[in-house]
Structure 1
Amino acid sequence: MARGMNPGAPVLTRRGFLVASVGAGVGASLAFGFPRGAAAAMDPAVPGGMPPAEAGPLFEPTLWFAIDGEGWVSINIIRAEMGQHVGTALARILADELGADWDKVRILHVDTDPKWGLMVTGGSWSVWQSFPLFSRAGAAGRIALIEQGAKRLGVDPSACRVENGTVVAGGASLTFGEIARQGVPVRRFSADELEKLPIKPASERRLVGRPVQALDIPPKTDGTARYGIDAKVPGMVYARPKIPPTRNGAKVNGVDDSAAKAVKGYVGSLVLDDPSGTVPGWVMVIAQSYPAAIRAADLVRVDWTPGPTSAVSEKDIQDHAAQLIAQPDAGAVLDTGGGDTAAAFKAAQSTLEQTYTTATVLHFQLEPVNALAFEKDGVFEIHTGNQWQSLILPTLAKALGRPETGIILRTYLIGGGFGRRLNGDYAVPAALAAKALAKPVKMVLTREDDARFDSPRSPSVQRLRMAFGAGGEVTAMEHDAAAGWPSQVMTPSLMPKGANGVLYDPFSISGADHWYSVGAQKVRAISNDLANAAFRPGWLRSVGPGWTNWALESFMDEAAHHAKEDPVAFRLKLLDAKGRNAGSAPNAVGGALRQAEVVRRAAARAGWGAPLPADTALGLATSFGQERTMPTWIACVARVHVDRPTGAVRVEKLTLVADAGTVVDPDGARAQVEGAALWGLSMALHEGTVFERGQVKDTNLNSYMPLRISDIPQMDTGFVDSIEVPVGLGEPATTVVGPAIGNAIFNAVGARLRHIPITPDAVRSAIG
């Protein structure tokens, strides 16, 4: 014990220090700009740190929000908060349409309940899917408030308007709180009625697209926000798993915990019986504290029979993908409007064919996966951060042998999701252990455990071909992509059929079905069954376009050089918005012409064509975001310098222009684009691992090397002003940075790289 330490005093943690500091200086925190009230925002009983709703009558015209007697508008958020301020973005949609006072709006991240419908945060869908729903919910609230206000004021509803939390009629007015305090029955709107409600024109918006303060900054900065890893209840024990040698098919033959018994606080080791098949071969090491669980787990010895993929390597997975691509009938063919590519290639004046590959990528989110599970009053509670509650609930029901209605997921903030927590598999072992022990179990994975249990982005192999006519025009294109498929493993019911009747994972081929006019077009999506067996493929920020766009945009540059055209001019020529690329309402108005515009703007903004120093060049890439049904048009120009002797690549500047329709949250939008672009840079030059003997090689940040702060380039980000439908911004910028860098390297030193991550050795070899 340190000299002078009081043995009876509570241990002061970093989080406790932050809370104590704020408590001792409320005036300072208010001056710092916390408008919600420090005492309320620091309520530790609320997972997100936001204040609870007031007691008393509530004004609730829809299930998406309520107004209390003090005039607070509490907006229910079903999307996961993982640093992107999704609650602020969605709340301002509803509050704008409602006419609320932004200083009296709060967000409530809700627990699972069938009434919320599909609960998922991914695919850059949150704003896109919520905008029409929340706009109409706000419109319904405005109508209901006017109706009630008009009755109280004795005027016709047509004489009333709503502004800044008040219903106004001439010189008289009523606040939202005054109306709520009446406690009279409120008009409720059905789903059909909501669907028909008109919303404000863009010219009348006061919050959407304007700078406002994010609602969740105070708890995130003062230490009161609660993440899944913070969850605790009295009487709980801690668990750390022993991860088996293979993700699938492992069996436990025996457990030797004799050495672990010397660890103070060690309780025992539990072999899980998992009816859902989520964690086969898992052994949970139980202790009274997490440090004890870590130490004990290191001493527990497990005898496993591994699954059939215990010898699989990265090369095996990639070689298998190449073999599948070589089979002409393998995979699903997408409906691209077709044309006979075989005939076009046979008649071509010239052709181009290249193969591109990407490595396995891990999530390495800051907060390792964790879950607290216990049964209370006949309901099984799971306390954890999760991106897709609706996906894991049926699996938990199967694992626990009870209906979904007997399980609830409590919502917490997420210390980094990036797609890892779309797969909520980590909730299953905690729940099984809690059921077996009949007490609360808090499971936390170490960094190494987390890496080995990750749902990585699958390695991929892609082959692209293009046919050219006598005048150099593009007459046909084929794109074959083989990788592990998350949807096939976790959500097979969501897989559509291709034009040839074969099911495919849309998230693993998005991006290949592009907006370029290339004549006859064929896109083939191929499931790498060896990858699916060796690990559980996951959704990682940008998902399929993270690899499909690497290949597509690298190949478009190679095609431009083959045709002896400038890469920007070549793309603009093909983005002509003809035929199926013309676009359609409501999401893709303008089609390829909008993608051409971001290309044009990014090139001009970056100084395309201007002279640059030796071994320094610009490279461009573009994309339409996640899916053709929700296109986010984006272009990136990378300015890159290559050191020829070492092969080191330094990205000096990234210029990005995005057209995401209506930008709801300008500050959040910029943060999303910049964060996504830096992740794309990280995966292009730094990140990546390989499989060795059925496991990922790199399990901590001493060897897995994401982007460091010293590697961050200058960034210039712009948006196209638009009043079109708002679409997603969380992921599209991830996909354009890698190919822009690869194209810039070629323009700088003539070295063409077709694999990411791009290493100095690979650059040196390509130069040589």
Structure 2
Amino acid sequence: VLVGCSFSTQPTLSSTTQKEEHLGLWVKISSDNQIILTVPGVEMGQGIHTAHAMILAEEMEAKWGDISVVHAPVNPEFVADMPYGFVLGQGSTGSMSIVAWWDKLRFVGAGCRDILIKAASEEWQVPSKECKAKNSKVIHVPSNKELSYGQLATKASQIDPPSDPQFKSKLDYKLVGKSIPRVDIPSKINGSLKFGTDVRIPGMLYGAISQSPIFNGKVKSFDEAAAMKIKGVENVIQVESMEDGGTPGAGVVVLADSTWHAIKGLEALKVQFEGGKILGFNSKKIEEELDATLNDIGKSEITEKVYLDEEYSVQFLSHACIEPLNCTAIVKDDICEVWAPAQGINRVKEIAIDITGLDEEKVIVHTPHIGGSFGRKQDFNYFEITLKIATKVRKPVQLVWSREQDMRGGFFRPVNKSRIQVEMGDDGMPIKWNKQLAVPSIAANFRELSPLAIFDFDPPNIGGTVGDHFAAQMDYHDFSHPYEIPNADFEYSNVDLGIPVGPWRAVGHVHNTFYVESAIDEIAHKVNQDPLDYRLKLLANKPRHTKVMQLLAKKASWGKGIPKNHGRGIAMGVYMSGIAAQAIEISVNNRGKLKVERVDCVIDCGRYVNPNIIKSQVEGGIIMGLSSTISEKITVEKGQVVQGNFDEYKIIRMKDIPEINIHLIESNEKPGGIGETGNPPVAPALTNAIFAATGKRIRRLPIGKQKLV
């Protein structure tokens, strides 16, 4: 029996004759009391299946052991009338999986609880007020009679749900706010959890791809005959260059009876490429382009005696996901099925309909668990390539990108450069602020946002900044940095480098928080004020942010002595109504070797669901932030990306991970995002700590081989 609630139409519960796919969000209850939650959010390691199940089970008064979770099929009703539907789509992005679904899941759970109670009261012919729900049962309090949800499901499915079910009080929560073990851990440990590359279909062909190492390059030649001689190789197919997205180079795919045979066939193919958008381009030329763009914007006039006038920059970054790009598809005359490790599965379905020409109901998108994404799997060209090949050969096809093809094919966190000019008054506080940003457009690579790039408008790149630009002042879940600075101006210009860029964990907040927090720290030292006290003055009208910073000072022992050659730095960042402040302690030895000793992080993300998941997300964000700050970078030589694997793309190792302490603030505010909140403050807190220890300012990331002593 299916029980569900629709959010875009009048709320109803399903009957046994209703189709699952027509429900906006639903619960399935079996006769043996198993409760299956269908989750619209995509699980890519962030724990959203567990968190969504906890919210629903809490309101439903379901026993935790009775709950299981499956990915939802594509259905437009999942995002209809949602305030973030345009941004979120059906999937997971922007740290919005709790923000967007908190009220929806509570509504479903509370509604299910109410109609199950009503079903029991009708069965017993007693008033509903004499009944209560607990542990997947309804109990008649006066008589102590009870019926399980499984016993009540058939009757409950025929009852109209309430339009405004009563939510539980936070004081009565038994699950939400507790560190409940994640539902996906057992299957990850025993290997039964299925990722994209685990999909197996009878008669499936395995594909390996070689694409132009220069973006928008063309295929010059290849030896098809040599490839076809390799054992197991069945087909060689050329793919065209695509102008948008993250994998735009033309290439050739070899299909075989195994991945290994496809790879060996690709080696024998000896494909040659020519041309390309950035032929002869290199990282030095990229820096010159950024400098020229900043110069075109022009400096502001400085009139005060005490001022800051500095430039900061960051490099391209790879997402470096453990799971490389992959897709599995089968296309027949009357049906198309796609197994898509994608952050937005509704977009995958749209692509499949366009390519196959099939009606919507004949296209089925399956959603495997994703082995990491951080924004990478919002690029949809790899699905397009796979679907075109499957359409051509009319056999099941699984196409997997090699690590090198994935890393060198883009897209990347955009390289960018910023100039910040600040004038201070007699009290040392800013009285004028001008921030300029030169950055390649993220919006230009995405269908929904690309028209904005025409007008030099790129919201993804400007989050976390300070200024009067209307986009930076959007009242959109802490889109702007919280510091209140008068006469703040923000100017930016998109730089077309011909290299695809896209969202990378926390998007614009990462580079802009580094720029803003570095400048604030420089100003504080310039006017001889404590960096923490200086920030608190800028947060005077922000009590939530002030509380976070004050707790950080206590937890990190700010102001207390530390050993020689050690230094502490501090920074604050915001993302999707989540607030994070961090203090990082480092040491630098006499040879200039950097060691990160300790990270303290205070988080206020509003009302939280599972503190253990929050801590793991923040710890992961901190480690990713440390790695990108210290060593990660993508460089270009002769028009080609240099780094192709982890021997060249340097991520920090386990031995480099410091002590990390996460402190959560209890809050009654609405839930905020957490998947990306821990990342933005890392870089400035670390580089500010380096200054505190050595007097050396780091204004260019990664730190790499810059001398610290």
Q: Would the TM-score normalized by the shorter structure come out above 0.5?
A: yes
Which deviates more from structure 2 when the two are superposed, residues 399-408 or residues 58-67? Answer: 58-67
Residue 411 of structure 2 is aligned to residue 455 of structure 1 = yes
1:289 is aligned to 258
Equivalent-residue separation in structure 2 for 1:503 and 1:216 (angstroms): 43
Note if contact 1:58-1:68 (Cα within 8 Å) is conserved in structure 2: no
Does residue 733 (structure 1) correspond to residue 702 (structure 2)? The answer is: no
Residue number in structure 2 paired with 1:103: 65
Q: State yes or no: 1:357 paired with 2:313.
A: yes
8 A Cα contact 2:204 2:396, kept in partner = yes
Contact 2:335/2:358 (<8 A) preserved: no
Counterparts in 2 of 1:490 and 1:400: CA distance versus 1, 3 Å: farther
CA drift of 1:721 comes to 1.1
Give 1:274 deviation, angstroms.
7.0
| Cα separation, 2, equivalents of 1:600 and 1:183 | 50
Check conservation: 2:237, 2:252, Cα contact below 8 A. Answer: yes
Displacement of 1:133 in angstroms is 0.9
**2:174 pairs with one of 206, 219, 225:** 206
1:271-350 aligned within 5 A: 271-273=238-240, 279-328=248-297, 348-350=304-306
| 1:120 aligns with one of 91, 97, 115 | 91
The alignment status of 1:666 with 2:611, answered yes or no, reads yes
Q: For residues 492-641 of structure 1, what are the structure 2 equivalents within 5 Å?
A: 492-493=448-449, 502=455, 504-512=457-465, 513-530=480-497, 533-534=498-499, 536-577=500-541, 592-625=542-575, 630-641=576-587
The 5 A counterparts of 1:103-182 are 103-117=65-79, 118-170=89-141, 171-182=144-155
**Structure 2 unpaired stretches of 5+:** 1-14, 80-88, 466-479
Shift of 1:275: 7.9
Q: Which runs of 5+ in 1 are unaligned?
A: 1-54, 330-340, 578-591
Q: CA deviation at 1:566?
A: 0.6
Aligned residues with identical type, % of pairs: 28
Equivalent residue, structure 2, for 1:78: 40
What is the alpha-carbon distance in structure 1 between the residues aligned to residue 98 and residue 29 of structure 2?
23
The aligned counterpart of 1:378 is 334
Deviation at 1:262, TM superposition (A): 3.5
Q: Kindly state the Cα deviation for residue 404 of structure 1 after the two structures are TM-superposed.
A: 5.2
Q: What is the identity, as a one-letter code, of the residue corresponding to 1:165?
A: S
The secondary structure found in structure 1 opposite 2:706 is: helix
Question: Structure 1: how far apart are the matches of 2:568 and 2:353?
Answer: 53
Q: What's the CA shift for 1:253? A: 3.8
- Say which is worse superposed, 660-669 or 159-168, in terms of deviation: 159-168
Q: Distance in 2 between matches of 1:239 and 1:609?
A: 58
User: Does residue 190 of structure 2 align to residue 237 of structure 1?
Assistant: no
Q: 1:694 is matched with which residue?
A: 639
Q: 1:699 to 1:404 in 2, by over 3 A?
A: farther
CA distance in 2, matches of 1:274, 1:697: 21
Structure 1 letter corresponding to 2:293: L
Q: How far has the Cα of 1:362 moved from its partner?
A: 0.8
Asked if 1 retains the 8 angstrom alpha-carbon contact of 2:404 and 2:644, the reply is yes
The whole-number CA distance in structure 2 between the counterparts of 1:210 and 1:82 is 21
1:703 aligns with 2:644: no
Relative to structure 1, the CA distance from residue 163 to residue 520 in structure 2 (aligned partners, 3 Å threshold; closer, same or farther) is same
Shift of 1:273: 4.7
Superposed CA offset, 1:597-626 (max 9, x none): 21111122111111222210111111112x
Q: How well do the aligned residues superpose, as a CA RMSD in angstroms?
A: 2.4
| Partner deviation per Cα, 1:474-496 (whole Å, 9 max, x = no partner) | 11212222222322211344876
Q: CA deviation at 1:520?
A: 1.1
Q: What per-residue deviation string (whole Å, max 9, x for no partner) do you get for residues 71-118 of structure 1? A: 222111111212222100011111101111111011111232333333
Q: In 1, Cα distance between the equivalents of 2:274 and 2:257?
A: 29
Distance, in Å, in 2 between the alignment partners of 1:756 and 1:290 is: 38
1:403, 1:349 → 2: CA distance?
Answer: 68
1:94 aligns with 2:47: no
Q: Report if the CA contact (8 A) 1:120-1:422 is conserved.
A: no
Point out the more displaced range, 106-115 or 716-725. Answer: 106-115
SS at match of 2:91: coil
- Taking structure 1 as the reference length, what is the TM-score of the superposition? 0.83
Paired residue type of 1:711: D
CA distance in 2, matches of 1:163, 1:139: 12
**Secondary structure of the structure 2 residue equivalent to 1:367:** coil
Residues 37, 53 of structure 2: 8 Å contact kept: yes
* Residues 121, 422 of structure 1: 8 Å contact kept: no
Equivalent pairs counted in the alignment come to 666
Who is 2:589 aligned against?
Answer: 643
Distance 1:560 1:275, change over 3 A: closer
Deviates more, 1:386-395 or 1:139-148: 386-395
User: Which whole-Å CA distance do the structure 2 matches of 1:489 and 1:324 have between them?
Assistant: 20
Distance in 2 (CA, whole Å) between partners of 1:390 and 1:515 is 34
Cα shift at 1:247 = 2.5
CA contact (8 A) 2:306 2:423 kept: yes
For 1:170-228, what per-residue CA distance to the aligned partner results, in whole angstroms no more than 9, with x for missing partners?
Answer: 22222111101447513256xxx3xx544222112111001322212221111111100
The CA deviation string for residues 429-487 of structure 1, in whole angstroms up to 9 with x for no partner, is 11111111121111111111111223111111111121212332311212222222322
2: CA distance between counterparts of 1:656 and 1:293? 47
Check whether the contact 2:44–2:371 (CA below 8 A) recurs between aligned residues: yes
Structure-1 separation of matches of 2:578 and 2:451: 22
Counterpart of 1:407, as a letter, is V
CA apart distance, 1:569: 0.5
* 2:222 paired residue number: 255
Contact 2:464 2:512 in 1 (8 A): yes
Q: Distance in 1 between matches of 2:562 and 2:533?
A: 20
Distance in structure 2 (CA, Å) of the matches to 1:507 and 1:79: 21
Kept after mapping to 2: 8 A contact 1:641/1:651: yes
Asked if the contact 2:342–2:370 (Cα under 8 Å) also holds between the matched residues in 1, the reply is yes
**Match of residue 443 from structure 2:** 487
Give 3-state SS (helix, strand or coil) of 1:624's partner: strand
**Counterparts of 1:464 and 1:644 in 2: how far apart (Å)?**
32
TM-score, structure 2 normalization? 0.89
Q: Assess if the C-alpha contact under 8 Å between 1:259 and 1:299 holds in 2.
A: yes
The alignment status of 1:763 with 2:683, answered yes or no, reads no
- Give the whole-Å Cα distance in 2 for the aligned partners of 1:521 and 1:632: 23
Shift of 1:68: 2.0
CA distance in 1, matches of 2:379, 2:697: 36
CA separation of 1:183 and 1:602: change in aligned 2, threshold 3 A? closer
